[in-house]
């Protein structure tokens, strides 16, 4: 029985054996995949503006069709099942619609929500101004506006948020088209959201609760569908900008080789 | 449009999962491959594994709900 000192260290023998073993992987000998991304940043912008458009710009028509059909179908399915209420832009007292930041990933189809939001806020403001016509003569003078502002105590009340953005002088400058110092009711054009309120924010928390009551799970499901559509388009944007996320064959080979080597060490 | 809502409202909520999984798996697979056959193969694989995983979660929750 030889002493331990005469034997070679076990680790060294194992490692020499491992290094000498060939790894049973065939190196890649075919042609690498080439994708013409044209101008990547233009493709990315197109992909955001309209799902699939970036890929059409790059002449990758098949993938463009897949992205367009899947993303838009998901988005509009969500929108229809909630009758257009699942997508709206609002950061007001009735609730902070954080989901919109993801829904807007779908691009142009989600942008009307911003226009609708602005119109809804303008309508709130115009309603307040209409109520300021104390003597009901169809005209709102500067004094009546000041009274309105004082009455609402605009710095305190959240409900008057849309009005709080303005000062009486700003209001007159913006809406007084005749420049006669008086706001006439005819000048206060209708600013109600278009399309029967599709993608318009709720006017208050009660209306939001009413939507939840009316649509039930469909409202949440519509939100989920539209939100996921937006996130899926983010993937499509990255694909348009940088190409598919596949590993190159060489990288794939190196990765497999590394995994095999690690497995051998564990077995040893 | 109004005719669709009552039909959808009475549909079991789990049916909404299938088109969502289909769309997600197709888009995700399309970001991993460039040609159509591997995209479809990848999406079928991903959709199947997602449905199996969700099915397992569903069964676990079902079993847990029996105890309450």
Domain layout of chain B by residue ranges: 13-67
The residue that leads in pLDDT, A244 or A154, is A244
**What is the C-alpha separation between A228 and A85, in angstroms, rounded?**
16
**pLDDT the model gives residue A4:** 45
User: Does residue A183 surpass a pLDDT of 70?
Assistant: yes
Supply A69's token pair: 């059909």
pLDDT digit string (tens) for A55-113?
999 999 999 999 999 999 999 999 999 999 999 998 876 678 999 999 999 999 999 99
- Report which of A17, A254, A177, A235 is spatially closest to residue B46, judged by C-alpha positions: A235
Note down the domain range covering A172.
115-195
Number of compact structural domains in chain A: 1
Supply A250's token pair: 């060489």
- Phi and psi, residue A132, nearest 5°: -75, -5
Supply B3's token pair: 């005719």
Supply B24's token pair: 């997600």
**pLDDT the model gives residue A203:** 80
User: Does residue A155 surpass a pLDDT of 60?
Assistant: no
The Cα-based distances of A113 to A199, A224, B41 in angstroms read 5, 17, 37
The complex scores an ipTM of: 0.92
**How many CB pairs below 8 Å do chains A and B form together?**
73
- Phi and psi, residue A195, nearest 5°: 50, 40
Supply A12's token pair: 């060294």
Averaged pLDDT of chain A: 78
In a domain, A100, yes or no: no
Mean pLDDT of A229-238: 97
A63 φψ region: left (φ > 0), alpha (ψ -120 to 50), beta (else): alpha
**pLDDT the model gives residue A202:** 87
Distance from CA of A122 to the nearest CA of B (A): 28
**pLDDT the model gives residue A193:** 81
CATH of the domain at A148: 1.10.238
The 3 state secondary structure assigned to chain A is CCCHHHCCCHHHHHHHHHHHCCCCCCCCCCCCCCCCCCCHHHHHHHHHHCCCHHHHHCCCHHHHHHHHHHHHHHHHHHHHHCCCCCCCCCEECCEECCHHHHHHHHCHHHCHHHHHHHHHHHHHHHHHHHHCCCCCCCEEEHHHHHHHHHHHCCCCCHHHHHHHCCCHHHHHHHHCCCCCCEEECCCCCCCCCCHHHCCCCCCCHHHHHHHHHHHCHHHHHHHHHHHHHHHHHHHHHHHHHHCCCCCCHHHHHHHHHHHHHHHHHHHC
Distance from CA of B32 to the nearest CA of A (A): 5
In a domain, A226, yes or no: no
In a domain, A177, yes or no: yes
User: Does residue A149 surpass a pLDDT of 80?
Assistant: no
The DSSP result for B15-57, as a single string, is GGHHHHHHHHHHHHHHTT-SSHHHHHHHHHHHHHHHHHHHHHH
For B3, the 3-state DSSP assignment is coil
B33: nearest CB among A71, A217, A246: A246
User: Does residue B32 surpass a pLDDT of 70?
Assistant: yes
CB contact under 8 A, B27 and A225: no
pLDDT digit string (tens) for A1-15?
444 444 445 455 555
Mean pLDDT of A23-48: 76
Distance from CA of B58 to the nearest CA of A (A): 18
Kind of pairing, strands A182-184 and A139-141? Answer: antiparallel
- Kindly state the helix (H) or strand (E) to which residue B63 belongs, with its residue range: helix B36-67
Mean pLDDT of A139-150: 74
Residues of B with a Cβ under 8 Å from any A Cβ are 1, 4-5, 8-9, 13, 16, 19-20, 22-24, 26-28, 30-36, 39
Averaged pLDDT of chain B: 90
Mean pLDDT of A202-227: 91
The residue that leads in pLDDT, A145 or A117, is A117
**pLDDT the model gives residue A151:** 66
Highest mean pLDDT, choosing among A116-125, A148-157, A184-193: A116-125
Task: Indicate the angle between helix axes A61-81 and B36-67, nearest 10 degrees.
Answer: 30
């Amino acid at each position: 029985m030889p002493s331990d000192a005469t034997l070679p260290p076990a680790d060294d023998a194992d490692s020499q054996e491992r290094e000498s073993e060939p790894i049973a992987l065939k190196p890649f000998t075919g042609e690498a995949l080439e994708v013409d991304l044209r101008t990547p940043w233009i493709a990315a912008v197109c992909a955001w503006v309209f799902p699939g458009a970036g890929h059409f710009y790059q002449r990758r028509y098949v993938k463009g069709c897949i992205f367009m059909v899947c993303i838009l179908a998901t988005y509009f399915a969500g929108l229809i099942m909630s009758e257009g209420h699942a997508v709206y832009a609002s950061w007001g007292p009735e609730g902070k619609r954080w989901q919109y930041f993801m829904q807007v990933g779908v691009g142009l189809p989600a942008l009307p929500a911003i226009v609708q939001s602005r119109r809804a806020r303008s309508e709130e403001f115009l309603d307040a101004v209409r109520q300021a016509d104390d003597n009901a003569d169809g005209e709102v003078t500067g004094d009546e506006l000041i009274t309105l502002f004082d009455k609402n105590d605009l710095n305190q009340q959240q409900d008057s948020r849309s009005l709080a953005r303005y000062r009486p002088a700003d209001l007159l400058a913006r809406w007084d088209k005749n420049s006669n110092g008086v706001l006439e009711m005819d000048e206060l054009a209708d600013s109600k959201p278009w399309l029967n309120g599709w993608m318009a924010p709720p006017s208050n928390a009660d209306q939001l609760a009413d939507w939840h009551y009316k649509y039930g799970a469909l409202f949440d499901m519509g939100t989920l569908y539209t939100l996921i559509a937006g996130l899926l388009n983010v993937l499509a944007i990255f694909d348009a900008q940088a190409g598919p996320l596949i590993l190159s064959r060489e990288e794939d080979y190196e990765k497999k080789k590394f995994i095999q080597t690690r497995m051998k060490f564990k077995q040893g | 449009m109004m005719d669709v809502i009552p039909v959808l409202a009475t549909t079991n909520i789990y049916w909404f999962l299938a088109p969502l999984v289909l769309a997600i798996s197709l888009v995700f697979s399309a970001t991993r491959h460039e040609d159509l056959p591997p995209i479809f193969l990848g999406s079928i694989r991903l959709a199947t594994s997602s449905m199996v995983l969700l099915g397992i979660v569903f069964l676990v929750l079902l079993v847990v709900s029996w105890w309450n």
